[in-house]
Amino acid sequence: MKAVRLFEIGQPLELQEIPVPEVGEQDVLVRIKAAGICHSDVHYRAGTSPAGPLPVTLGHEVAGVVEQVGAHVTQIEPGDRVCLHYLVTCGQCEYCIRGHEQFCRQGRMIGKHRDGGYAELIAVPAQGVILLPDEISFEHGSVLMCSSATSFHALRKSRMQPGERVAVFGVGGLGMSAIQIAQAFGALEVYAVDINPDKLAIAESYGAIPVNSQKGDPVRHIRRLTGGSGVDVALELIGLPLTTRQAVLSLAPFGRAVLAGITDQPTEFYSYWEIIGREAEIIGCSDHLLQEFPLLLELARRGKLDLSRVVVRSVPLDAAAINTVMDELEGFGGDVRTVIVP
Ligand SMILES: [Zn+2]
Ligand SMILES: [Zn+2]
């Protein structure tokens, strides 16, 4: 089968013909119908976030149709429409048992530590295979597995209450979902902060109040719009020291900033004025959980989480086309979300 793989850090991905993966007794073989190209993939290719052992097939946002199931798989059948939890975990360690499987010591991520979805087929343990409702397309199903799920997890980590104000820094794939999920959770107002007017227009169409940080300091803008008080929750989804700082500075007293954007650069704060004095909190958000998918998929099934303005382009399973999309993401440009349709 065809697979588009990372052979060497810092080099373009390459198409390779590899054997169809073996299907163990607990495994499910899925014919891939959609695989999202994610900003994390750019970090794996560049080496900012270490992937491997190499070569590895990238692609951790995967939806498709079950082709074959292992002898011990009972809940999933050939022909089922499914999407995949990207963390393959042991299911038995203390973290897995407590439902915090992102800290499983044996956890391996598809498309990073083991072969992922930039391919025709993938085999994964059945425990991470989720039925995809008919109302949700494969393209949307794939993106729900990463950017939407991480936004969902970030908002849960923020302990957002109905009636609170939320600022979303970065309205790419994660941000567009964060806006809608915050509204579904009862946010009073959601501010969308970005420098890209096209993305801000889409964010506004989803009900957010746009804040263009190229036209001035977004922190002052948010303070003005909130009568000086700031927001209760700020999500940092970009991964830049500047926007991380802005997210924290936009907080009201007792505000919570959740950081989900990846950067290898440090961010500076004046702990007294900027954090202690407001009893502000900075919260890390890593991945998301299997237990979060039922509600997330239900929000999408009901149209409360609509990705039709987010997933706007598809490319074939072609190394050059995929590398081009990744190059655009690396420059923080390109479409909001591109999906590979093999
Ligand atoms: Zn992703
Ligand atoms: Zn575990």
Query: Which residues contact residue 181 at a Cβ distance below 8 angstroms, ignoring those fewer than 6 apart?
Result: 148, 151, 152, 155, 296, 299, 305
What is the Å distance from ligand 2's center to 182 Cα?
30
What is the Å distance from ligand 2's center to 257 Cα?
28
What is the Å distance from ligand 2's center to 269 Cα?
35
Confidence of residue 332 (pLDDT cuts 50, 70, 90): low
What pLDDT, in 10s, does the model give residues 235-252? 999 999 999 999 999 999
**For 171, which DSSP code?**
-
Does residue 335 carry a pLDDT above 90? no
Mean pLDDT score of the chain:
95
Q: Which ligand is nearest to the CA of 104?
A: 2
What is the SS3 assignment for 267?
A: coil
What pLDDT, in 10s, does the model give residues 272-292? 999 999 999 999 999 899 999
**62, 83 contact by CB (below 8 A):** yes
What is the Å distance from ligand 1's center to 22 Cα?
25
- The predicted structure's pLDDT at residue 273: 92
What is the Å distance from ligand 2's center to 85 Cα?
14
What is the Å distance from ligand 2's center to 106 Cα?
6
Q: Which ligand is nearest to the CA of 91?
A: 2
What is the Å distance from ligand 1's center to 149 Cα?
9
What is the Å distance from ligand 1's center to 56 Cα?
16
Does the predicted model carry a pTM greater than 0.85? yes
Confidence of residue 151 (pLDDT cuts 50, 70, 90): very high
Q: What gap in Å lies between CA 3 and CA 79, rounded to an integer?
A: 22
What is the Å distance from ligand 1's center to 216 Cα?
30
Number of Cβ atoms within 10 Å of the Cβ of 205: 12
Q: What gap in Å lies between CA 332 and CA 311, rounded to an integer?
A: 16
Q: How far apart are the first and last CA of the chain?
A: 11
What is the Å distance from ligand 2's center to 94 Cα?
7
- The predicted structure's pLDDT at residue 314: 94
Average pLDDT over residues 310-317: 91
Average pLDDT over residues 220-228: 97
Average pLDDT over residues 160-188: 96
- The predicted structure's pLDDT at residue 27: 97
Q: What percent of the chain has pLDDT over 90?
A: 90
What is the Å distance from ligand 2's center to 285 Cα?
18
Q: Which ligand is nearest to the CA of 60?
A: 1
Q: Which ligand is nearest to the CA of 84?
A: 1
What is the Å distance from ligand 1's center to 191 Cα?
23
Q: Which residues pair with 56 in a beta bridge?
A: 6
Does residue 333 carry a pLDDT above 80? no
Structure tokens given for 177: 């979902």
- The predicted structure's pLDDT at residue 336: 72
Confidence of residue 329 (pLDDT cuts 50, 70, 90): confident
Does residue 25 carry a pLDDT above 70? yes
Is cis: bond before 55, omega within 30 of 0? yes
Confidence of residue 48 (pLDDT cuts 50, 70, 90): confident
**185, 225 contact by CB (below 8 A):** no
What is the Å distance from ligand 2's center to 102 Cα?
8
Q: Which residue has the tokens 């407590």?
A: 98
- The predicted structure's pLDDT at residue 39: 86
What pLDDT, in 10s, does the model give residues 104-125? 999 999 999 999 999 999 999 9
CA-to-CA dists, residue 97 to 69, 92, 100, 295, angstroms: 25, 6, 8, 20
Average pLDDT over residues 69-91: 96
Q: Which ligand is nearest to the CA of 146?
A: 1
- The predicted structure's pLDDT at residue 334: 61
DSSP of 61-120, one letter per residue? -EEEEEEEE-TT--S--TT-EEEE-SEE--S-SHHHHTT-GGG-TT-EEBTTTB--SSBS
